[in-house]
Amino acid sequence: MSTDTIEKTATRSAKSGQPVIELVGMSKWYGNFQVLKDIDLTVYEGERIVVCGPSGSGKSTMIRCINQLEFHQEGDVIIHGKAYGKDEKQNDLIRRDIGMVFQSFNLFPHLSVLENCTMAQIWVKETPKAEAEAVAMHFLERVRIPEQAHKYPLQLSGGQQQRVAIARALCMNPKIMLFDEPTSALDPEMINEVLEAMIELAQSGMTMIVVTHEMNFARKVADRVIFMDQGEIVEQAPPHAFFDNPQYDRTQLFLSQIL
Ligand code: ADP
Ligand code: MG
């Protein structure tokens, strides 16, 4: 199959899938400052969304609302048909389907790579230790660092640490993966090894929202690119339309600054 055919098939299957994330009229304020303004967004099963936009436009806040690391004040956040609400147990169950990878890795420095990958499995999912370790090794192999399993995070390069963070998230068997500028803290020579792990994940059919300014990644992987500015989704389009024919002045200005 040519790359073109693969991409078309992926887009078609994404569109025919179920909605997995629905943001409906979502607004959020920090004090008097409205950081998110009436956000509407539906993400379908298997879709890969890239979110870009100027610093401070609300990208991190929007994706953190999806797993309720931040709380919205108006509208609904619906995951697999279930809205977050007042019932914290229910919210925890909804949240369990979502993995997240941060700019700053957020690994536990006092735990080995293997322990970083087994801890939540053992304590949250009550997986027996041997089984949790087998799952961890499986995902460390997938991100190509099984030989680092017994080291500590600070003994690894930034690129390796971020791949551990990806493996750790995958160990919880998420249905959705959120990435918040996963390569921004990395030295340039390490960016590709992390992007490659993310590309493989995308090819496996994972539903993904990726905040990034890596526009080659967006062109290669995204079904849709979303541009945010001042708390709003200004424009969204498939990558070729977004990059080659942006509709709005704000998008054109942003692209002229980063490309
Ligand atoms: P982005 O990820 O696009 O750079 P953020 O979502 O981090 O943007 O931030 C959006 C806006 O909200 C910025 O103006 C930022 O200063 C503000 N902000 C973010 N977090 C907080 C917070 N905890 N308290 C107050 N303001 C915040
Ligand atoms: Mg951010």
| C-alpha 22 – ligand 1 centre gap (Å) | 22
Q: Please give the number of the atom of ligand 1 that sits closest to the Cα of 53.
A: 3
Which protein residues are within 6 Å of ligand 1, measured from CB?
30, 35, 53, 55-61
Q: Which pair of structure tokens corresponds to residue 158? A: 């930034």
How confident is the model at residue 17, as a pLDDT?
77
Ligand 1, from 27, 29, 32, 35: best to mutate by most atoms within 8 Å of Cβ?
35
Q: What is the pLDDT along the chain (259 residues), one digit of tens a residue?
A: 344 434 444 444 445 578 999 999 999 999 999 999 999 999 999 999 999 999 999 999 999 999 999 999 999 999 999 999 999 999 999 999 999 999 999 999 999 999 999 999 999 999 999 999 999 999 999 999 999 999 999 999 999 999 999 999 999 999 999 999 999 999 999 999 999 999 999 999 999 999 999 999 999 999 999 999 999 999 999 999 999 999 999 999 999 998 7
Answering whether pTM is above 0.90, one says yes
| C-alpha 19 – ligand 2 centre gap (Å) | 25
Q: Atom 20 in ligand 1: which residue has the minimum CA distance?
A: 61
